[in-house]
Structure 1
Amino acid sequence: MKQFLSSLFLFVLCSTNAQQSTASNQVSTFTIDAPQLKISKRIWVYLPKNYSTSTKKYPVIYMHDAQNLFDAKTAAYGEWNIDETLDSINAQVVVIGIEHRGDKRIEELTPYKNAKYGGGKADDYLDFIVKTLKPKVDATYRTKTNAKNTSIMGSSLGGLVSFYAAIKYPEVFGKVGCFSPSFWFGRNEMNDLLAQTKDFNTKVYFLCGDNEGDDDVIRDMKNVEHWVNTKRCECKKLNKEVIVKGGQHNEKLWRESFKKAYIWLF
């Protein structure tokens, strides 16, 4: 339990070492006003290797905790190696990474308040992604804009808010990468939301480790996946569950699992 709960604050601190940047040439950043959150947000962008020599449009993955996705210099606990992984398989996708706000991360990535940890402002965060960030991305880059080609992905609280986004905006997000989801955060409220949701057609990749520090991670994830299966025939194969033996609640698990999740989703 201690290992798992400490992960709530895993992304709050930024790396203070002098490590050199590991981000590839395909990665850039820009800043955008987020009126829903009353701040400006730094956004990281990964473009496929052939983007500059092509005229085609690409699917998009929106990901949380951008500091940990592309660059070891900004990742306090290790990066996901998203750019290197996608380059290695010549992936044809644009990735949009959204930086967390340090001590405001819990607020942004949780749809409901927790008695101990607070939170509960995910509606504002997702409103920013859908109504401010996505229009900017679609206007700036050559993207496929429909739900079938738009994914949202994250880990821990990022897994929670990604699944919540698929319920709230099914017309926007057609694919979800749900890694080590913190479904326990506002469990009762989430269960109520599931009970009220009539349809669910989003493609979901569920993943966690069997050594995450809390048995509730697997149990809660399985309960949500069971709910998903009640909404559609399993024969459609729109969701996949992966439980990694020995996997812990950390970037190592998520980094090593990302490629398989991407290939299955796309």
Structure 2
Amino acid sequence: MRQIILSTFIWIAFGITALAQVTFNITSVPANTPDGAVLYAAGNFNGWEEGSSDYAFTAAADGTYTLTFEPDPGTLTFKFTRGSWATVEGNADGGFLPNRTLEYGGGQLEVDLEIVSWEGDSPGSSTAADNVTVVAEDFYMPQLDRNRRIWVYLPPDYTTSTTDYPVLYMHDGQNLFDAATAAFGEWEVDESLNALFENGDDGVIVVGIDNGGAARLDEYSPWVNPSYGGGEGEAYVDFIVETLKPHIDENYRTLPGRAHTGIMGSSMGGLISLYAAIEHQDIFSKAGIFSASFWFAEACYDHVGDRGKQEDMRIYMIAGAQEGSNGQQVADMMAMKQELLAAGFEESEIVAVGHPDGTHAEWYWKREFPAAYEWLFGNLTTGVSEDARDFMKGVEVFPNPGGDTVYIELPEEKPGLQCRVFTAEGKLVRLIQPDGQRMSLTGLPPATYLIGFYLKSGHSLGMKRLMVQK
């Protein structure tokens, strides 16, 4: 009897296991799908292998595709490909499509799905400016044995000048220039820089590096998060430093030195940007850190302390009070600022701004990009930069510490000169048109401030530090 009961239990268990399966039915694919293409599912149920034969769909004569597999219950995260991340599915505009998710509680589940486009197949809705091009769709990353699309923005006068330009490296290239490839809206980096150029800015080259989709979390952190991945960030940064930067410097008119090289990103891109800047202070002198995911790896704070200050830097951080619970993103940013100060960086090298309306979204980063760019690259662009440095050497602000009134001594007249007063954290608190040499600071509470000097065109000449006492 015991043997019969045991056998019955085995058959029941087998039956339950056999019923634990998910079937994906792809009911339609884009019209430009190649004849005979094999479709695959890649997700957290197969280690994100983009072309695994065990997860290949079976094509039917009516143009539909079917895949049945047996995942563990839980949240399934996945995408469809034609065998590689270079042929991954896209959104309705041919742009980046976030991971699909499906809550699977066990048993048999059948789901009908559609593939609306293949990423990169835009229906003509590109918003990229004419001075944005793709360096390569499949630029090889030897440190990771992967390929990636690389974008480049060139200043409007690049083809008609002989000027060498600073370079800013940015992550999540899909979201920087083109709405057709951006999942949640673009940063409009090209539009912002073109507008600044029209107002007197001398220009910068921007290199955009597409994220790796499912590999994004792994590549954007050198430290492993047990729940989310990571661990490939060092290799990813080595790719930028050892492979991509030399290629850009060789093929474009750049100012290759650290004084003219920056790195910028948001969210996980902010985390990897700070890591890159601190780890390679010999390469980067400036970093834009937007809504950084410092929570992903607490070791990022120790890394700053361990490496310490080796070179002068400019670090511009922003975070929104609407990010995280109870403004946690802003608190994390301010904790990082304190870590940077403890590591030897000066107040004047760090901007850390919290915005009450800031959310974890492209619209926020788009809005804040111009200010970050101007602060990071102020006095470092070509053309008038040397004149600006000479001008600022002769600027005196006194008394310092000061009270309600201070005086400015200029080495020469600058018609339309405007002064902008910032807190030490980089928050703009006052615009002032100097009355001769006199500048009123009435109403400003005692604190340390930065006074920025700007031409009528909006071009930054530089900053002076001022302590206000009452």
**TM-score, structure 1 as length reference:** 0.91
Paired residues for 1:46-61 under 5 Å: 46-61=153-168
Amino acid at match of 1:100: N
Give the root-mean-square deviation of aligned CA atoms. Answer: 1.6
Go from structure 1 to structure 2 and tell me whether the alpha carbon gap of 1:169 and 1:228 turns closer, same or farther (over 3 Å shift): same
CA contact (8 A) 2:270 2:291 kept: yes
Decide which of 249, 252, 261 is 1:138's aligned counterpart: 249
Could you tell me whether the CA contact under 8 Å between 1:210 and 1:247 is conserved in 2? Answer: yes
Is the 2:279–2:307 Cα contact (8 Å) retained in structure 1? no
Matched, 1:35 2:142: yes
Partners of 2:190 and 2:303 in 1: CA distance = 35
Structure 2 distance, partners of 1:181, 1:44, is 23
Q: What amino acid is the match of 2:260?
A: N
> Does the CA-based 8 Å contact 1:15-1:75 persist in structure 2?
no
Partner residue, 2:184: 77
Distance in 2 of aligned mates of 1:245 and 1:202: 27
Deviations 1:47-93 (A, max 9, x none): 00000011010000000000000000000100000001100010410
* 1:225 alignment partner in structure 2: 337
Aligned residue pairs total: 253
Identity of aligned residues (%): 43
- Change in 2 beyond 3 A, CA 1:206/1:100: same
Q: In 2, Cα distance between the equivalents of 1:59 and 1:13? A: 35
1:251–1:39 Cα change, 3 Å: same
Shift of 1:13: 8.1
Could you tell me which amino acid in structure 2 is paired with residue 229 of structure 1?
L
Alignment of 1:117-156 (within 5 A): 117-156=228-267
Query: How far off is 1:246 after superposition?
Result: 1.1
Q: Which residue of 1 aligns with 2:91?
A: 15
Q: What pairs up with 1:71-220 in 2 under 5 angstroms?
A: 71-90=178-197, 91=201, 92-187=203-298, 189-200=299-310, 201-214=312-325, 215-220=327-332
Q: Provide the C-alpha distance between the structure 1 equivalents of 2:210 and 2:269, rounded to a whole number of angstroms.
A: 12
The structural deviation recorded for 1:30 is 2.0
Identify, as 1 or 2, the structure richer in strand.
2
Q: One-letter code of the match for 1:222?
A: M
Relative to its length, the structure with more helix (as a share) is: 1
Describe the SS at the equivalent of 1:97.
strand
Give the aligned residue type for 1:157: M
Distance in 1, Cα, partners of 2:158 & 2:186: 24
Q: Which runs of 5+ in 1 are unaligned?
A: 1-8
Question: Per-residue displacement from partner, 1:21-55 (whole Å, max 9, x unpaired)?
Answer: 00011000122211111012210000000000110
How much has 1:232 moved relative to structure 2? 3.2
Q: Which has the higher contact order (CA 8 A, sep 6+)?
A: 1
Gaps of 5+ in 2: 1-77, 79-87, 94-122, 378-470
Q: TM-score, normalised by structure 2?
A: 0.52
Q: Distance in 1 between matches of 2:194 and 2:272?
A: 27
1:5 aligns with: none
1:191 Cα offset (Å): 2.7
The amino acid that maps onto 2:130 is: N
- The CA deviation at 1:19 is 6.5
Structure 1 residues 100 and 13, CA gap change in structure 2 (3 angstroms): farther
Q: Which runs of 4+ in 1 moved over 4 A?
A: none
Structure 1 position 251, deviation (Å) = 0.2
